[in-house]
Structure 1
Amino acid sequence: MVEILKPADKKQLSKWIGGGSSKQFELLFKATRDGCAANVFHAKCDNKGPTVTVFYNTVDCIFGGYTSMNWLSVTTYNYDEKAFLFRLQLKGAPEYKKYPVKVFNNASYSNATYGPTFGAGHDIYSFNGTLAKTGNYYASNGGVTLGQTYNMLGDTAATFHAENIQYTDIEVYKVIDGGLCLEKPWRPIPGLNMKTLMSEVEKYSPVDAVSIDYVNILLIGAVGAGKSSYFNTINSIFRGHVTSQACSGSAEHSLTTVYRVYKIRSQETGFPLKFRLCDTRGLEEAQGMDSADLLAILDGHLPDRYQFNPSMPVSPEVTGYKKNPTLQDKIHVIAFVMDGCSVDVFPEKILTNIKATQQKANQRGIPQVVLLTKVDRVCQEVEQDLSQVFYSQAVQDLVDEVSQLVGLPRAHILPVKNYEREMELDQDVNIPALLSVRQMLRFADDYLYNFVDES
């Protein structure tokens, strides 16, 4: 059984806990997995340092408590100025709220026969002894008596947990500063080898059943997400040194003002590889990509270096407009480029633009992926050693969160780090980037096979 706590909930808890660094959450105890018994809770959770306890009840409320002190099997109240209770969900609706401790010396209560308990008046008293499951829940023999030790900020039992202590599950997480690296990679990549990956990409050719020379991958993303930098990164790998052919950097508005169809050339032969990275204007909250411009790109009407005009959408009358585009001209894969550091505050308007693009792409059968950039900044371990990207719990959680946000399978969420401060190539940067290209080329072939089948 997997944990229930969502990545967004973990991020919120991390902010509440504070301390100047992101937190990771290691699942120690889970009632439905380990049994709802006090002795099991103490065996798994005693002397583990700071923990978060989360309760899930039968009316879809999620609430709990944090303590920075150890759980113990001796009977004692624990002094803790940092403790707090929290609410994450009320009757199925996300309702984040933190309730600070007001009586420090009674923040939590340890007892060998008790499950996790907060407050002198048993503000949250989880259970005593062992609970048997009744249907799909555990009927608690404890209770919730709010306001004794924690400031409930005007909330009552009705608005905290809907007065329900029938628990579908109880989880206890160890709180860890910085990143948590897993023993096994969350995305196993057998035989991971840069030389092999480069060879696969260099030798790629579109499926034989269609008469096209290369496939087109369209990069779409918010200003500053790293679209142009992604092209520069892939270009650098195959040029053999760090390049900056596409304009990239920080700016209030998109640095890309024209539609560009970039070629990647082999260092050995100098010939272009059989895919193109197509760059377009960055998405902005104030002005999304014009629907007519987007359709013209997807359907292959726009020429390379087409200059966008914000006051006038594309039309068949513009210079270079392809009135009768072929399969070669069309977009075969869309890559949404998203900044991994800003997923939790992703602008609603830009997400709406992405969803609208997805709808048009789905109508055309165009596969989609997310290039999740700047993943080195979401985890200290990955920042120090990029080879840990597929072992990082933080990156895995971020991939899960983005998958839910955009409605794509997790295998379509591709974490990468673009070349930015580096002046020399780094294998640990190259491998995730090459994996992303390889996956997109495989999806492009899926699009082409569907075209063949329809024909």
Structure 2
Amino acid sequence: MFNYATINKKNLSLGFFSQQWKNITHMFGGSPQPEPETLIGEWRKIRWGQQEEDLQFMKDYQPYNKEVKQLRVLLHGPIGSGKSSFINSVESALRGKVTGRALTDTISGESFTIKRRTFKIDKGGKGTFYPFVFTDLMGIEGSEKQGICVEDIKLDMKGHIKDAYNFNPYSEISENDPNYNKSPTLEDKVHVLVCIIDASKASLLSNESKNKMREVRLAASRLGIPEVVVLTKIDEACPEVRSDVKNVCKSKYIKETMDKISVDLGLQPNCIFPVKNYNTEMETNDEIDSLILSAMKRIIDFGEDFVNELQA
């Protein structure tokens, strides 16, 4: 029988309640009532089937500014939102096979990432890498003394934190810490800030978490750093997307979620990109790749514009 105790934060998604309603009506022998309309007209055009073109763009890209060999993309966001999984998914799309170098966790209610780590993606040849890197940080939590210290994110954007720094939720990094970079170069600094948000839990974000993300965004704005939002787990948020990922830009729920994030963080909707991370798949998928590569192309475009403006 349906057990209300099974409801928890990880199950609070549109798909979960939809399925439970079907189970209840079936259990009592009735026919399911028509579900609320979940699909609407396309609110964004995705270039389905063009992932090879986007992939070639990634392969051909080189920063025009000679001071920068690699664009630095900094990921931040609430715990469990899929930051590490997004890194793995981008690597999977670029390499044509499902990978998992950035360690993830599906059980813990706390941030699984506790140390700063930068990820390069192998381009195929020996010792060759794509000209962009991802910096993965500890997750944001609502409580004041939990999750990453917001001041550390601000310092990281300025290039002051080195890899392997162990984040302390109670205080920011000290200038005397061996992992504090006192003289960051342009390449050490962040060129694109990416906020990762779980679409299936976006409505559950606390005001404290949203305030922290807003504070980070305002700090990035003062530095001129472009920011985008990557909306993950769209398949968990909407049953229609789970059945066919190409329904993402017809999903009423995903559209409403993006609009709410736009209001909460003060970001234009065209800077918010819904994606599905690789999690259960054993092989790469053209539709999943299309969403991931489309988001990455915009991230690269924003980063390229930013570093070009800094040229002497």
2:114 equivalent to 1:265: no
| Correspondences of 1:297-336 after superposition (within 5 Å) | 297-336=156-195
* 2:103 partner letter: C
Q: Are residue 218 (structure 1) and residue 43 (structure 2) matched? A: no
- How far, CA to CA, are the matches of 1:402 and 1:253 in structure 2? 23
Is contact 1:334–1:368 with CA below 8 Å preserved after alignment?
yes
How far, CA to CA, are the matches of 1:223 and 1:397 in structure 2? 22
For residue 83 of structure 1, what is the aligned residue in structure 2?
A: none
- What residue in structure 1 maps to residue 85 of structure 2? 229
Tell me how far 1:192 sits from its aligned partner.
4.9
State the Cα distance separating 1:431 from its structure 2 match: 1.0
Q: Using a 3 Å threshold, how does the CA distance of structure 1 residues 269 and 397 change in structure 2: closer, same or farther?
A: farther
The 5-angstrom pairing of residues 403-422 of structure 1 reads 403-422=262-281
1:244 aligns to 2:126 (yes or no): no
Q: Deviations over 1:111-146 (max 9, x none)?
A: xxxxxxxxxxxxxxxxxxxxxxxxxxxxxxxxxxxx
Q: Is the 8 A contact 2:150 2:212 kept in 1?
A: no
Q: Deviations 1:239-267 (Å, cap 9, x if unpaired)?
A: 32211111112212111011011111123
RMSD: 2.3
Aligned counterparts, 1:173-188, within 5 A: 177=36, 179-182=38-41, 185-188=42-45
Q: Which has the higher contact order (CA 8 A, sep 6+)?
A: 2
Select 1:436's aligned residue among 295, 306, 310.
295
SS of alignment partner, residue 110 of structure 2:
coil
**CA apart distance, 1:439:** 0.7
CA 1:190/1:373 → structure 2, altered by over 3 Å: closer, same or farther?
A: closer
Q: Which amino acid aligns with 2:298?
A: Q
Structure 1: 5+ residue runs without aligned partners?
1-18, 23-174
| Cα distance in 2 for residues equivalent to 1:442 and 1:365 | 15
- Per-residue CA distance 1:162-204 (angstroms, 9 max, x = gap): xxxxxxxxxxxxx85352153xx32124575111111111222
Deviation at 1:269, TM superposition (A): 6.0
Contact kept, 8 Å, 1:217 with 1:332, in 2: the verdict is yes
* Residue correspondence of structure 1 range 53-452 to structure 2 within 5 A: 177=36, 179-182=38-41, 185-190=42-47, 192-206=49-63, 208-250=64-106, 251-267=108-124, 271-286=128-143, 287-452=146-311
Q: Which amino acid aligns with 2:61?
A: Y
Q: Secondary structure at the match of 1:424?
A: coil
Q: Give the Cα separation in 2 of the matches to 1:288 and 1:253.
A: 8
- Measure the CA separation in 1 of the matches of 2:175 and 2:53: 44
Greater percentage in strand: 1
Contact map agreement 1:240 1:267 (CA 8 A) in 2: no
Higher-Rg member (1/2): 1
Structure-1 separation of matches of 2:169 and 2:204: 27
**Cα distance between partner residues in 1 of 2:251 and 2:150:** 38
Give percent identity, aligned residues only.
Answer: 30
